[in-house]
Amino acid sequence: MIEVINLDKRFDKVQALSSLNLRVKKGSIYGLVGTNGSGKTTALKHITGILRADAGTVRIEDVDVYENLKIKECIGFIPDDLYFFNMYNLRDSARFHSRIYPHWNWDVYRRTLADFELDEKRRLSKFSKGMQKQAAFVLTLSAGPDYLILDEPIDGLDPLVRKLVWRHIVGGVADRGMTVLVSSHNLREMEGVCDAIGILSKGSMLIERDLDELKSDIHKVQVAFAADAPRENLYEGLNVLHAESRGAVDLLIVRNPKDAVEAVIRRQSPLIFDLLPLTLEEIFIYEIGGGKSAIDNILL
């Protein structure tokens, strides 16, 4: 399990993280989302032991991560900005990694290399950015990590390769109980694989919940009533986060269980009633405070 407790980090005058709390269950896939500058990369660099916290605690398996070689041997980290030795090809890098990681597996290396169809004899500096990211996956997965930390792992990859990457990630969780923490802006793809979601805003955790639970309690509602229906207290008992009217149709975003929403709306005998869960992308837009125009777009 990964635990971040009351984490603070400041760079000069910028408060990058403020009382950040985060918890990733063992054997799960956790998606960390937020706007640019919200602190995602800084949080990941603390979790991997690259940065020292100003205050707070970062633990994996109940022990502190920073300067803990034993824990770092169990972590695979693919940052957004990759680095390779300039003169190395993929085979050279594999030999280097095999001497560092005690769980290195040459069979996994050969299988993943074949899946990604990379030339292991070609110098990595000559690879495209997308190919370098694939090479990083081959090396990291071959290291047999118990904890896989990914910062924008599919950025710049074509759809077929993205699908292959997610297949390997999900397979590692299913086969070995690997724990995955992934930061990404591709919310639609994360929605299909993540067990839990954390939404960062200005260096603090805004929402952290299991994905199914998060989606089950927030809904889009479109409803219309007869012209002579009373308008007072129509939605009494509901937690209405946003409401507006377009002609005879009321458009709402409500945070309540589905049964509670249906009970309140149907007792007023609506002429039109549509109740839909929000997608992860829509929840993100609303929770971050995208403004009226953003909310208009997700209601259309």
| Residue 188 φ/ψ, nearest 5 degrees | -65, -40
Quick one: 189 and 246 in the same domain?
A: no
What's the total number of domains in the chain? 2
Where is the domain boundary, 174, 191, 213? 213
Q: What is the pLDDT of residue 298?
A: 38
Q: What is the pLDDT of residue 297?
A: 43
Quick one: 59 and 125 in the same domain?
A: yes
Contact between residue 191 and residue 238 where contact means Cβ atoms under 8 Å apart: no
pLDDT at residue 158 tops 50: yes
- The residue written with tokens 């992934």 in the block is 182
Quick one: 102 and 248 in the same domain?
A: no
Quick one: 117 and 264 in the same domain?
A: no
Quick one: 169 and 229 in the same domain?
A: no
Q: What is the mean pLDDT of the chain?
A: 89
Contact between residue 184 and residue 201 where contact means Cβ atoms under 8 Å apart: no
Length of the chain: 300
Residues of the chain above pLDDT 90, percent: 63
Quick one: 28 and 150 in the same domain?
A: yes
Quick one: 262 and 195 in the same domain?
A: no
For the whole model, what pTM was predicted? 0.85
Euclidean distance between CA atoms 262 and 268, whole angstroms: 10
Residue 294 belongs to domain spanning: 216-299
pLDDT at residue 123 tops 70: yes
CATH number of the domain enclosing 100: 3.40.50.300
Euclidean distance between CA atoms 50 and 91, whole angstroms: 26
Quick one: 209 and 267 in the same domain?
A: no
CATH number of the domain enclosing 244: 3.30.70
Q: What is the pLDDT of residue 215?
A: 82
Residues of the chain above pLDDT 70, percent: 96
Quick one: 113 and 200 in the same domain?
A: yes
Summarize pLDDT for 217-236 with one digit per residue, the tens: 888 999 999 888 887 888 88
3-class secondary structure per residue, the chain: CEEEEEEEEEECCEEEEEEEEEEECCCCEEEEEECCCCCHHHHHHHHCCCCCCCEEEEEECCEECCCCHHHHCCEEEECCCCCCCCCCEHHHHHHHHHHHCCCCCHHHHHHHHHHHCCCCCCEHHHCCHHHHHHHHHHHHHHCCCCEEEEECCCCCCCHHHHHHHHHHHHHHHHHHCCEEEEECCCHHHHHCCCCEEEEEECCEEEEEEEHHHHHHCCEEEEEECCCCCCCCCCCCCCCEEEEEEECCEEEEEECCCHHHHHHHHHCCCCCEEEEEECCHHHHHHHHHCCHHHHHHHHHC
Residue 291: Cβ within 10 Å count:
10
Quick one: 226 and 171 in the same domain?
A: no
Quick one: 170 and 282 in the same domain?
A: no
Where is the domain boundary, 159, 188, 213? 213
pLDDT at residue 290 tops 90: no
Quick one: 41 and 183 in the same domain?
A: yes
Where is the domain boundary, 213, 229, 252? 213
pLDDT band per the 50, 70, 90 thresholds, residue 92: very high
